Copies of this chain bind each other. A is one copy, B any other.
Amino acid sequence: MTVTDPVALLGEHLRDDMEQVNALIRRHMQSQNAPRIPEVTAHLIEAGGKRIRPLLNLAAARLLGYEGNAHLGLAATVEFIHTATLLHDDVVDESTQRRGRPTANLLWDNKSSVLVGDFLFARSFLMMVESGSMEALRIMAESATALAEGEILQMGAAQNLATDEATYLRIIRYKTAALFSAATESGAVIAGATPAQRRALAEFGDALGICYQLVDDYLDYAGSAPSLGKKVGTDFAGGKVTLPVILAHAAGSEQERAFWKRCIEKGERGNDELEHAMALLHRQGALQATRERAQEWSDRARAALAELPAHRLRDLLDDLTVMLVTRIN
């Protein structure tokens, strides 16, 4: 497959902005007092993440014709908040791999990950203050609150087969889509968007974020390791209840439900169980259905985009939204 990566295309188009954002990120991750901070941050931030969240912020502002620079600090903020949550998530999940590299909590320790995450949260609010927009600050603070709530909700859903699709949707909307949506909505605000444009960009970010997480949860069972930078079956190994499992469990025979109960709730999960789980997911059409849900959210995101003025960046966001799902088909 030689499909051009739409995120890379977006990055290409926003290269000047993105270079300034990267410079801001490098500058603000410094600490005269604690060299551990830039070390830990750089490990994660320079591991080749796609920077999709800051790109969404930049694209939202620019496609509305914004010509200022206040969005740059917001874009860096979004990446800092994201990085902080990754550091904390890896502690919470006891993860050992992220973006194809050992996690910071493994290389250093949990303390460093917790405290450097806190530093990045605080710095991100300082960068926002510099953007000068109280409304953008409100959007970002609300999204940071939602991120934490989403992670806490997810803790409650772990190893818990009573989690239904509605709860799952709420979790991913909070833990993932909230920051996507904050990125696009704050970009709109900084660009002086009309209320309709602002709403459309917020909805676009929300739907894209939900789609993004559905695809991620799909690929955790259906992907191949190199493209993910993490092992397939990680969610299963962690007893995480994502949509594929929710659907397969709901549609399963009594015997199958007993199997899921054993694996997810009682923790009897080995390689054999993963293989059997995969077979059940396929048999019940759970992966197919997850892909369909992703497609629906991709369509919703595109519908929101269609309300915005014609612009090359709008087209690139549309391509990105289409390909997020088609690349897994």
Contacts and interface: CB of A to CB of B under 8 A. Distances in A.
Interface of A: 31, 33-34, 36-37, 85, 88, 91-92, 110-112, 114-119, 121-123, 125-126, 128-129, 132, 134, 137-138, 141-142, 144-145, 147-153, 155-156, 170, 174
Nearest to A92: B111
Nearest to A143: B122
Nearest to A123: B145
Given A114-B92, A129-B137, A134-B134, A144 B122 contact: yes
A149 B30 CA distance: 11
A142 B34 CA distance: 15
A111 B111 CA distance: 13
A209 B296 CA distance: 55
A92 B85 CA distance: 17
Given A37-B152, A114-B92, A145 B132 contact: no
Count copies of this chain in the complex: 2
A156 B31 CA distance: 14
9 contacts: A34-B156, A85-B118, A91-B114, A111-B155, A115-B152, A115-B155, A122-B148, A125-B137, A132-B134
A170 B33 contact: yes
B147 A122 contact: yes
A31 B125 contact: no
A147 to B, nearest CB: 7
A28 B122 CA distance: 19
B149 A37 contact: yes
Contacts of A117: 118
A145 B92 CA distance: 22
Given A129-B138, A132-B134, A152 B116 contact: yes
A153 B34 contact: yes
A132 B174 CA distance: 26
B122 A145 contact: yes
Contacts of A110: 91-92, 110
